[in-house]
């Protein structure tokens, strides 16, 4: 393995700074969720989408008090309005859905559109207007098409913006760092299928939920696929050498990653092992994993 690179995805979310409010196109204004961290980078991007005085809000951040004045300012300065038409959510993780209560307290009972996911929709469970793959959410100047893209989360929707061939990727493709495949609700095989589906759309630009816009959209998605394929090859190679303990695998594979991220790395390794298991290529024997002889 020494002649293969250990990481394909090189950029790092830690220390990356972005403006609180930014104009990304004539119909897309970002407002940063004010929740920076090792897994959210500069924080969650929320998006004001549309050209009229009734724009959509795509994702709502985590619900931090610092966020609301920024959203108000973005709406006032860029759309001369105090009104939101609808809230649209990529998925139910708290840094995307968590701001719904706060935003609706301030702007009134704005409809919330999302693919339902029992157990993950929190205070929005009874409020949701369900949408699913293929749903069209349109406002003046912007037409969004929902694409069901499970893998990071079962309920995850990406949104295709017709007018720009742009793709809002939520947490499926990030402007910096690597998507987590959580133990609960995550599935690496689904995730790889979702990436391939997005690649086939040939987007012109990616607007991710974390980090800056990605202009080389196809290149980035291919990089993501290659990164996971490289990890899988590394894991298979370790299993061939008889290294089947997740902690040992992390120490060998993530030598260049800070110690505090090793728990997350373990989650990633286990997601690969579960994928190999699902494909009948690996099995678990107590705490150790081994290859299934073919």
Question: Is the CB of 85 or the CB of 190 nearer to Zn ion?
Answer: 190
Query: Closest residue (Cβ) to Zn ion?
Result: 93
Question: Is the CB of 171 or the CB of 187 nearer to Zn ion?
Answer: 171
282-285 and 288-291 strand pairing: antiparallel
Q: At its nearest, how many Å lie between Zn ion and the CB of residue 8? A: 21
Q: At its nearest, how many Å lie between Zn ion and the CB of residue 117? A: 11
Q: At its nearest, how many Å lie between Zn ion and the CB of residue 153? A: 6
Question: Is the CB of 27 or the CB of 93 nearer to Zn ion?
Answer: 93
Contact positions vs Zn ion (CB under 5 A):
93, 171
Q: At its nearest, how many Å lie between Zn ion and the CB of residue 148? A: 15
CA distance 5 to 7: 6
Express the helix, strand and coil content of the chain in percent, nearest 5 each.
Answer: 35, 20, 45
Q: At its nearest, how many Å lie between Zn ion and the CB of residue 19? A: 22
CA distance 136 to 161: 10
**What contacts 55, CB < 8 A, 6 or more positions away?**
48, 49, 75, 79, 81, 84, 85, 139, 142
DSSP string, 23-73: EEETTEEEEE-S--BTTTBT--EEEEE-SSSS-EEE---S--TTHHHHHHH
Question: Is the CB of 50 or the CB of 186 nearer to Zn ion?
Answer: 186
Q: At its nearest, how many Å lie between Zn ion and the CB of residue 292? A: 32
Calculate the CA 243 to chain-centre distance.
Answer: 31
CA distance 233 to 157: 29
Question: Is the CB of 171 or the CB of 190 nearer to Zn ion?
Answer: 171
Question: Is the CB of 101 or the CB of 180 nearer to Zn ion?
Answer: 180
């Amino acid at each position: 393995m020494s002649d293969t690179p250990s990481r394909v995805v090189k950029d790092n979310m830690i220390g990356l700074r972005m403006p609180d409010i930014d104009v990304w196109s004539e119909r897309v204004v970002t407002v940063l969720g004010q929740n920076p961290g090792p897994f959210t980078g500069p924080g969650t991007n929320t998006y004001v989408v549309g050209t009229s005085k009734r724009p959509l809000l795509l994702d709502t951040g985590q619900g931090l008090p610092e966020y609301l004045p920024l959203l108000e300012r973005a709406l006032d300065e860029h759309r001369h309005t105090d009104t939101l038409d609808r809230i649209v959510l990529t998925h139910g993780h708290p840094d995307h859905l968590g701001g719904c209560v706060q935003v609706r307290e301030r702007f009134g009972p704005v409809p919330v559109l999302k693919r339902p996911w029992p157990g993950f929709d929190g205070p929005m469970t009874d409020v949701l207007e369900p949408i699913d793959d293929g749903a069209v959410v349109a406002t003046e100047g912007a037409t969004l098409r929902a694409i069901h893209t499970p893998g990071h989360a079962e309920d995850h929707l990406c949104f295709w913006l017709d007018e720009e061939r742009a793709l809002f990727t939520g947490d499926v493709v990030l402007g910096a760092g690597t998507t987590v495949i959580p133990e609960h609700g995550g599935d690496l095989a689904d995730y790889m299928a979702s990436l391939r589906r997005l690649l086939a759309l040939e987007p012109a630009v990616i607007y991710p939920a974390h980090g800056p816009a990605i202009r080389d959209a196809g290149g980035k998605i291919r990089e993501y696929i290659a990164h996971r394929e490289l990890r899988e090859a590394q894991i298979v190679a370790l299993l061939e050498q008889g290294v089947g303990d997740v902690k040992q695998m992390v120490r060998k594979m993530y030598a260049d990653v800070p110690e505090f991220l090793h728990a997350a790395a373990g989650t990633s390794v286990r997601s690969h092992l579960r994928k190999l298991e699902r494909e009948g290529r690996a099995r678990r024997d107590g705490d150790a994993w081994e290859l299934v002889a073919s």
